[in-house]
Structure 1
């Protein structure tokens, strides 16, 4: 039976998940997350990131099991894992979200693209944020962002899984070299993402404007959604639409609250704006944006 692989990366949710939704329209899906040894050897990787992902995957897997499926955890470099999957049960399509990461993930994705061409697998990458690949003009970006955020939020109408869920627990082998797991870090998963958004919109955002500029008030006044957006437990579109909907229902006298949420929307816009900067100019990972600063520390 033919099927589509859905490669989960930094999109650990089931709702408003374009890759899962598109794949489900074609036929059976096989949901896969890959623990990449080389990725976790990068200098920006830490144990707290790994544990956050593990927690998010447990929540995702629990929901998929209610639908009759699960997410598979595989260990190895991506092309190695895809080869094992393809040799055991060939597939002709793979779906994932676009990722604007660092040089490592860019080179890895290039290798995956070559693998897909060699194995005649159609790789469909879909936008996750308001980031436009191969953007021809910066003047077109804002309208593209608004268009992306205005699209209807949807989950898969139905899911047919390639195989029944395994009876074994979700297993992620922690890379032994990883360190730094602060005891007070945020915990992962869509359930916590939604509750964090709710508490921000209904209470904490009242002090957002002004409160985020002080280390004393910022922990409570800021949204605390960064990690959930970074790992895709909740989509940017969900946050934007929920915020705008809440603003519409505020009473006229709630000007301070409305101003705080308006400022928050601006920062969501900035979030995608600066990712777009890295997408369009990936060399800024290694080079100064302003060449006048070259050799300043030499």
Structure 2
């Protein structure tokens, strides 16, 4: 039996495992809710909500081709064992970047079943070879959607097709009402609207909190969960770029493509989880109150709080805000980055483990220079008139512009109903800078950059 294992590739377009399996004969399309994937990782209820929305649309797409999408709840290995008991022999089709790939590969080898995996083989490939292999893959013709998907008449009882059963599956965290909805059609619509005109101010607005939510591609969550293939995004964008008459439009789209390929590159890298000894030395004892106030958007520092509240509400914020809120707690307050990393991962709808880990390491000083960001100064640069702050902090909605970034200076501050700052921002910023300078003055030679590293790499596509 040919079994297509869906995971973070929830679409039917440019889906080579599905195309190849359908060409081989009857197909059993399966999505497995693996408890360890949802309980032992930072994935949260908002991610599960997005996945269920995506699965609903995927199911309709498969039904439109005469097939059915089957669901299972359980660890992937016992699920595969039950399928093998039912069919005696199975061929597994999947993408090689599936989050369950290691388990599936090990099980297939132990049980002597065939595994067919697809996608670019980029691990441990470097330099020109990497670029050549990636470019070759991105320019290959996209896999055709099967004309028909024939499912077997015999299916095991533990598989189900009723999505209502997923409503009772409990995942930590809370759902969101104002975030992006999952699904292949939503992904395609988002790409189309970007290429139809939203890209025009892509570079100019990428650091601005509110404008960037419109002019950035907003494809990151759809790419993370495979509602759209990177190859599809690349080819459609390149086609648009080639058709552009204005040089400025070409520059905008070229910048977007460079970030898209940088994201693929980071996803192919093996992340080494270690913290530089000198950085560990300056971390202070954990302060749970500070952490919770930061997480809930109650630090008393407007741009930090607005960013965290917007993230909680929508599941997204741009790269500049991500860098600032991470730097504030990890580098200004000098708190350990591991707990904050897991908390942020649970909030980002576009959480991609490799990208997230690389980004956190970069911002928290585990990889390259530890960057300290003054939230008041940067807040004024990113949101000069306080429009973003007022949207997410209603307590400050009527505050005059001159006080919007430092409300504690307002004469009637205590009548606003807004939190006092958890620290003196200027003193904390100065103290952190002194501590980091002390590290730099130890006389150690400059560390050579690793491949793929930049001073500040943005994945905000």
TM-score tier (shorter): 0.7 to 0.9
Q: TM (normalized to structure 2)? A: 0.57
TM-score, normalization by structure 1: 0.86
1:51 aligns with one of 49, 73, 91: 49
Q: CA deviation at 1:175?
A: 3.3
Shift of 1:212: 0.8
Q: Secondary structure at the match of 2:166?
A: coil
Q: Which residue of 2 aligns with 1:119?
A: 111
Structure 2 equivalent of residue 266 of structure 1: 258
Whether the 8 Å CA contact 2:12–2:18 is kept in 1: the answer is yes
CA offsets per residue over residues 265-290 of structure 1, 9 Å max, x none? 1110111111122xxx24x2x224x6
Matched residue SS, 2:30: strand
Alignment-derived partner of residue 169 in structure 1 = 162
Distance in 2, Cα, partners of 1:192 & 1:163: 30
Aligned to 1:70: 68
**For residues 208-247 of structure 1, what are the structure 2 equivalents within 5 Å?**
208-247=202-241
Q: Counterparts in 2 of 1:1-298, with a 5 A limit?
A: 3-99=1-97, 101=99, 105=100, 109-127=101-119, 132-135=122-125, 137-163=126-152, 169-170=162-163, 171-251=165-245, 254-277=246-269, 281-282=270-271, 284=272, 286-288=273-275, 293=279, 297=283
Q: Over residues 8-40 of structure 1, what are the superposed CA-to-partner deviations in whole Å (9 max), with x where a residue is unaligned? A: 010001110011122222221110000011111
> Following the alignment from structure 1 to structure 2, what is the Cα–Cα distance between the partners of residues 224 and 48?
17
Residues matched between the structures, number: 279
Distance 2:89 2:145 in 1: 21
User: Taking structure 1 as reference, are residues 177 and 53 closer, same or farther at Cα in structure 2, changes over 3 Å only?
Assistant: closer
Note the C-alpha offset of 1:297: 3.0
Conserved 8 A contact 1:28-1:159: no
Q: How far has the Cα of 1:70 moved from its partner?
A: 1.1
**Structure 1, gaps ≥5 residues long:** none
The residue matched to 2:268 in structure 1 has which SS?
helix
C-alpha displacement of 1:194? 0.6
Give distance in 1, aligned partners of 2:206 and 2:264.
19
Gaps of at least 5 residues in structure 2 are 285-461
SS in 2 for 1:38: helix
In 1, Cα distance between the equivalents of 2:150 and 2:28?
A: 6
Highest RCO, 1 vs 2 (Cα 8 Å, sep ≥ 6): 1
The whole-number CA distance in structure 1 between the counterparts of 2:235 and 2:277 is 39
